[in-house]
């Protein structure tokens, strides 16, 4: 009882140091406990973030079957049970029924599915009429309506494969097809395949109908699907629960009813787990080092408080307490404080994480309290008590240690520390963890090893330097320096203070460096993936040219840019308005050797005029050499409104004749003549002479008036021929003539083409772009054959870059005008408007005013938000949060140590002053002494931090080169690092000043009261 009273009284008497030790213990325990708590929450957050970033619908359970009303009823029943099993985690089911069907208008057959989908009318932009609600009512897309010449109120004779009967279906609405399927309703299922067929079978967009219409079988069996999407909050339950729920639904319901089920959930979980594993490795490496740092701080604090606790241990030692009693006495007080800190530390960890949840994790992520957190916290407690026991060794040894013994122990400990550090670093180097060749979270251990080794070496070197300096200042008039150095020399143990401070500085700088580098790289990746600050998916009504519309909406050219994206598995083609590329697109300077402004100019060459027109009929006036056998001429046209190629055929006869063709179903908007393709009507025609064809005129009729179309007559190189054995005649003012060897006419492939493309198509090409011809990889200055978007053309690379905005590591950027002429495959591009960072919010309204239909807008900020919630990003964030706490802990400990040291030495200062040394000089000596020791620690820590940054950053996850071709930076961010060093320096300067004031005030009062011996 008395002993307990003495213990309590002792803690009360040293409440200052007890409070500091308690706070340090709380933070160390919190650091240990927060790791598992963080990892558990981060796992959930990473999964939620990965699921959110995955293409919409990927995690859905998609049940597919075929059948009519009965099967749909079974599917509906199964999904209801599934939703019950999922315990509210599944959103309302979206059912879809699709039936293949055909109709014919004015003799032209069209293929157009009947589509019914839950709530579809709310997700389509209906231009005219009302969405179908009755049986056999349908809505048709605007482009289908134009192509098939259908309008509201028309009755379409619809047939289905396998059925000879026809059902009359009434067109009740005209809709605009959605711009893409990447939204919460369509969930990656895109049904709008307009224009993908080849003539004569023209594929139109689907006809929207009710389920009643779709499920009434007229021959074809409807394809049914039920899309069970997880609610956004469901991902917070964790991957394991979702996987088990999905597996249960699959096995218990859908398999039983013979529904095919697909889901990409496992793939998303696998991606998230990979991210989790990397994050866990990074977090564990960081937390481990922070725990070790905390233990070093606890040890330092233990050593610093030895003098305060010495009175009890000396008392006990002198009165013959047994060794066990001495040890108990030496550690009981700090151990009691550490044990008391256990619940507080765990609580602080939980509260800290709860406070940071909104910043770090995906909203809604719960903060858990895993048992392992308590185990680790208890482990940290034990480790802390052990560290203090070791630190308190002097208190429980039976004899006072001689300085020689202390030196010997110091040498052994330091040798061990250096050996451990060198072994660790060599191991990291030999295993390739620091050479940047591959991502390796072990590189995070580098600062720990470097700090340990370099600090110990620095400590030794500093001691040597002090000895040298003592000798030099012996005869010096700089008394303050002499006193300061002598004090350090007399007690080289003060240099030990540099270890936690140097370690904390190094870890802080490494965390700051890695966070800012990772953050900057994430921003770069986010912007490159999106393409620009904001990217709007758009559609344009027939006849409206996107580039022209965007230029009209943004005459300044600094806010918006029209983009057509032709995705392809062999490399995407990005067609951009070259005049705006440099001001709108995101383009890091490291991406290309030349500035983008220069490249953009090279991308937009002067375009040959080509032959474009619009009208109802086309008239070709051709002069075919007389006596020529019958020739069929293919007139290849490109519909610029609905990008597709169409061919009209006309049979030529000898002499000068005009041939008229209807453009009504070919080019409702703007038409471009891409080539003329003459062939013998009969391939076996025995004709040996050259054939001469001269284009004398091209005209279009519009509103009953013929209008001449410029076709390059009289201009050099306005036309070309393929193959080159066909000779293009000299330019004449009224015609273009071709001299064709007869042996070229039996087969296809002979093309007479108006030159509407530059001889060399300039393009920015990625080094990973798939090229058609050898050499396999693009090289600067050499023309390459490219086949993006299904077209083939020869491009001249103006730059070869590792990656491109939006397109990625395999693709091409071309001028929009050039691309529209070069792409003749008829594939529909994704239309986008890219917005510059400086774009006014009103630009979208202006685009709408000029007729552009603006769809979903992607932003780099949103993409960055997703990346910021990735596992590695979370790991760096937690490092950035905890390392300043560790640094503050180290600074706080150092402050405590020097303040108590200053108080202890105030009698010395007063004595010095009484011997004639001015108090001012004593003060300066004390400041110099602390500044010298702390300055060495800071300098050492800063150097280690910078060295570690340059050594290890290249090997940390996210920084390894080659991932996606992104020109990521691994350069240490100088400004944040200097800022961190500056803040630490200021805090230490404040600590020195505080200590000096307290020590000197006491010394002065002692002098005043004459209480010095």
Q: What residues make contact with other proteins under the rule CB under 8 A?
A: 2-3, 5-6, 9-10, 12-13, 311-312, 314-323, 325, 397-400, 402-404, 467, 470, 486, 489-490, 1013
Nearest approach in angstroms of CB 489 to other proteins is 5
Using alpha carbons, select from 86, 829, 976 the residue that is nearest to residue 509. 976
Any idea what DSSP says for residue 365?
P
- Rounded distance, CA 454 to CA 498, Å? 11
Of 95, 37, 34, which Cα lies nearest the Cα of 65? 95
Instruction: Give the closest residue to 752 by CA, choosing from 693, 675, 694, 696.
Output: 675
In the chain, the largest separation of any two C-alpha atoms, in whole Å, equals 135
Which CB atom, from 324 or from 724, has the smaller least distance to other proteins? Answer: 324
CB of 305 to other proteins, least distance (A): 15
911 in Cβ contact with 531 (< 8 Å)? no
Residue 399 CB, nearest approach to other proteins (Å): 6
Cα distances from 419 to residues 386, 429, 452, 602, 669, in angstroms, run 22, 15, 10, 59, 79
**Shortest spacing between CB 334 and other proteins, in angstroms:** 17
* Size (the chain), residues: 1013
CB of 473 to other proteins, least distance (A): 13
Beta bridge partners of 633: 650, 678
Q: Does residue 723 have a cis peptide bond before it, meaning omega lies within 30 degrees of 0? A: yes
What minimum distance in Å lies between the beta carbon of 404 and other proteins?
A: 6
596 phi and psi angles, rounded to 5 deg: -60, -35
**DSSP assignment letter at 695:** E
- Least gap, CB of 24 to other proteins (angstroms): 23
| Residue 262 or 1011 having the CB closest to other proteins | 1011
Query: How crowded is residue 579: how many other Cβ atoms within 10 Å of its Cβ?
Result: 17
Residue 1 beta carbon to other proteins: minimum distance, rounded to whole angstroms: 11
Per-residue tokens: 408:
């010997």
What's the token pair of residue 656?
A: 């000068």
Show contacts of 783-789: CB within 8 Å, 24+ apart.
786/571, 786/573, 786/812, 787/568, 787/570, 788/566, 788/568, 788/570, 788/571, 788/572, 788/573, 788/812, 789/566, 789/567, 789/568, 789/572, 789/573, 789/823, 789/825, 789/827, 789/829
Query: What is the DSSP code string of 45-99?
Result: HHHHHHHHHSPTTTTSEEEEEE-SHHHHHHHHHHHHHHHHHTTT-BPPPEEEEEE
d(CA 549, CA 8): 82
Taken in order 836, 842, 846, 849, the sign of the CA dihedral is: positive
When the beta carbons of 14 and 846 are compared against other proteins, the nearer one is 14
Q: Which is nearer to other proteins, 147 or 1003 (CB)?
A: 1003
Indicate the Cα dihedral angle 173, 175, 181, 182, nearest 10°: -110
Which is closer to other proteins, CB of 191 or CB of 321? 321
CA proximity to 67, closest of 223, 213, 218: 223
Beta bridge partners of 865: none
Find the helix or strand (DSSP H, E) in which 352 lies: helix 323-360
Taking the least distance from each CB to other proteins, the nearer of 412 and 681 is 412
- CB of 913 vs other proteins, minimal distance in Å: 19
Q: Which is nearer to other proteins, 467 or 657 (CB)?
A: 467
Positive or negative CA dihedral for 968, 971, 974, 979? positive
Closest distance of CB 313 from other proteins, Å: 11
Would you say 402 or 589 has its CB closer to other proteins?
A: 402
Residue 325 or residue 598: which is nearer to other proteins going by CB?
A: 325
Residue closer to other proteins by CB (options 12, 749) is 12
Shorter beta-carbon distance to other proteins: residue 315 or 416: 315
Where is 169: in which H helix or E strand? strand 167-176
| Residue 284: other Cβ atoms inside 10 A | 16
Q: How far is the CB of 979 from other proteins (least distance, A)?
A: 39
Query: Least Å distance between CB 985 and other proteins?
Result: 29
CB of 309 to other proteins, least distance (A): 11
Given the complex with other proteins, which of 326 and 620 has the nearer CB atom?
A: 326
Could you give the CA distance from residue 441 to residue 339 in angstroms, rounded to a whole number? 33
- Closest contact distance (angstroms) between CB of 403 and other proteins is 4
In sequence order, what are the beta bridge partners of 563?
576, 832
Measured from the CB of residue 340, what is the shortest distance to other proteins in angstroms?
19
Q: How far is the CB of 885 from other proteins (least distance, A)?
A: 33
- SS3 sequence, 543-607? CCCHHHHHHHHCCCCCCEEEEEEECCCCCEEEEECHHHHHHHCCCCHHHCCCCHHHHHHHHCCCC
Minimum Å gap between C-beta 381 and other proteins is 26
In the structure encoding, which two tokens stand for residue 913, read together? 């002053």
The nearest distance, CB 950 to other proteins, in angstroms, is 38
Instruction: Give the DSSP letter of residue 857.
Output: E
Interaxial angle between packed helices 306-318 and 871-904, expressed in degrees from 0 to 180 and rounded to the nearest 10: 60
């Amino acid at each position: 009882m008395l002993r307990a009273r003495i213990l309590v009284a002792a803690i009360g008497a040293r409440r200052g140091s007890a409070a500091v030790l308690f706070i340090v213990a709380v933070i160390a325990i919190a650091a240990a406990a927060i790791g598992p708590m963080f990892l558990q929450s981060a796992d959930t957050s990473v999964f939620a973030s990965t699921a959110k970033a995955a293409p919409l619908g990927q995690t859905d359970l998609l049940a597919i079957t075929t059948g009519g009303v009965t099967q749909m009823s079974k599917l509906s029943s199964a999904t209801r049970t599934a939703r019950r099993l999922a315990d509210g985690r599944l959103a309302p089911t979206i059912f879809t029924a699709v039936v293949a069907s055909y109709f014919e208008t004015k003799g032209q057959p069209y293929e157009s599915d009947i589509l019914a989908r839950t709530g579809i009318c709310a997700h389509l932009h209906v231009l005219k009429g009302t969405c179908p609600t009755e049986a056999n009512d349908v809505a048709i897309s605007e482009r289908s309506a134009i192509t098939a010449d259908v309008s509201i109120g028309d009755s379409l004779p619809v047939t289905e494969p396998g059925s000879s009967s026809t059902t009359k279906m009434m067109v009740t609405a005209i809709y605009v097809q959605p711009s893409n399927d990447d939204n919460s309703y369509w969930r990656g299922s895109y049904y709008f395949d307009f224009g993908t067929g080849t003539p004569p079978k023209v594929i139109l967009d689907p006809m929207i109908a009710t389920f009643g219409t779709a499920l009434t079988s007229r021959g074809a069996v409807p394809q049914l699907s039920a899309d069970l999407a997880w609610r956004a909050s469901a991902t917070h339950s964790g991957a394991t629960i979702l996987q088990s729920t999905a597996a249960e639904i699959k096995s218990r319901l859908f398999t039983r009813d013979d529904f095919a089920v697909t889901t990409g959930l496992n793939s998303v979980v696998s991606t998230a787990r990979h991210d989790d594993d990397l994050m866990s490795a990074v977090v564990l490496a960081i937390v481990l080092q922070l725990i070790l740092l905390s233990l070093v701080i606890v040890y330092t604090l233990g050593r610093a408080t030895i003098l305060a606790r010495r009175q009890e241990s000396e008392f006990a030692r002198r009165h013959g307490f047994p060794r066990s009693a001495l040890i108990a006495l030496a550690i009981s007080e700090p151990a009691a404080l550490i044990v008391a800190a256990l619940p507080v530390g765990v609580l602080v960890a939980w509260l800290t994480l709860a406070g940071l949840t909104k910043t770090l994790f995906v909203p809604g992520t719960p903060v858990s309290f895993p048992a392992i957190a308590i185990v680790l916290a208890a482990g940290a407690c034990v480790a802390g008590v052990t560290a203090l026991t070791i630190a308190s060794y002097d208190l429980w040894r039976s004899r006072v240690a001689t300085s020689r013994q202390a030196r010997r122990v110091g040498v052994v400990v330091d040798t061990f520390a250096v050996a451990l550090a060198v072994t660790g670093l060599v191991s990291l180097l030999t295993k390739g963890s620091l050479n940047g060749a591959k991502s390796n979270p072990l590189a995070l251990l580098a600062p720990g090893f470097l700090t340990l080794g370099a600090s110990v070496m620095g400590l030794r070197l500093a001691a040597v330097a002090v000895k040298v300096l003592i000798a030099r200042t012996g005869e010096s008039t700089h008394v303050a320096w002499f006193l300061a150095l002598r004090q350090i020399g007399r007690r080289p143990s003060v240099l030990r203070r540099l270890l936690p401070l140097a370690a904390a500085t190094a870890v802080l700088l490494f965390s700051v460096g890695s966070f800012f580098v990772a953050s900057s790289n994430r921003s770069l990746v986010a912007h490159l993936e999106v393409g620009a600050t904001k990217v709007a998916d758009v559609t344009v009504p027939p006849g409206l040219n996107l580039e022209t519309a965007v230029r009209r909406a943004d005459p300044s050219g600094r806010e918006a840019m029209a983009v057509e994206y032709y995705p392809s598995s062999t490399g995407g083609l990005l067609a951009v308005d070259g005049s705006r590329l440099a001001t709108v697109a995101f383009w890091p300077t490291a991406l290309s050797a030349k500035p983008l402004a220069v490249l953009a100019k090279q991308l937009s060459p002067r375009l040959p005029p080509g032959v474009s027109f619009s009208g109802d009929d086309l008239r070709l006036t051709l002069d075919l050499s007389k006596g020529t056998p019958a020739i069929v001429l293919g007139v290849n046209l490109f519909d610029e409104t609905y990008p597709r190629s169409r061919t009209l055929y006309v049979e030529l006869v000898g002499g000068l004749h005009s041939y008229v063709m209807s453009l009504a179903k070919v080019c409702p908007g703007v038409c471009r003549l891409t080539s003329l393709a003459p062939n013998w009507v009969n391939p076996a025609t025995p004709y040996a002479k050259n054939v001469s064809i001269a284009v004398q005129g091209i005209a279009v009729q519009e509103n009953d008036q013929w209008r001449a179309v410029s076709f390059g007559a009289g201009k050099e190189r306005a036309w070309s021929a393929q193959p080159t054995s066909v000779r293009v005649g000299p330019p004449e003012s009224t015609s273009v003539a071709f001299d064709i060897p007869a042996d070229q006419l039996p087969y296809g492939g002979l093309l007479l083409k108006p030159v509407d493309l530059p001889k060399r198509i300039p393009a920015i090409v990625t080094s990973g772009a798939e090229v058609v011809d050898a050499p396999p990889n693009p090289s600067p200055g050499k023309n390459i054959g490219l086949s993006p978007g299904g077209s083939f053309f020869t491009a001249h690379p103006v730059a070869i870059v590792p990656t491109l905005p939006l397109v990625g590591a395999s693709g091409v950027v071309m001028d929009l005008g050039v691309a529209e002429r070069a792409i003749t495959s008829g594939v529909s591009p994704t239309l986008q408007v890219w917005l510059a960072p400086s774009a006014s919010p009103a630009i979208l309204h202006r685009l709408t005013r000029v007729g552009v239909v603006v769809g979903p807008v992607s932003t780099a900020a949103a993409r960055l938000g997703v990346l910021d919630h990735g596992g590695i990003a979370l790991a760096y964030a937690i490092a950035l949060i905890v390392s300043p706490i560790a640094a503050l802990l180290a600074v706080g400990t150092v402050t405590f140590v020097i303040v108590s040291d200053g108080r202890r030495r105030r009698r010395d200062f007063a004595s010095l002053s009484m011997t004639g040394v001015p108090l001012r000089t004593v003060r300066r000596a004390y400041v110099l002494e602390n500044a010298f020791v702390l300055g060495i620690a800071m300098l050492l820590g800063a150097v280690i931090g910078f060295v570690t940054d340059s050594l290890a950053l290249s090997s940390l996850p996210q920084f390894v080169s080659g991932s996606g071709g992104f020109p990521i930076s691994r350069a240490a961010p100088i400004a944040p690092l200097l800022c961190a060093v500056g803040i630490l320096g200021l805090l230490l300067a404040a600590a020195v000043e505080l200590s000096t004031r307290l020590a000197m005030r006491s010394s002065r009062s002692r002098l005043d009261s004459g209480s010095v011996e």
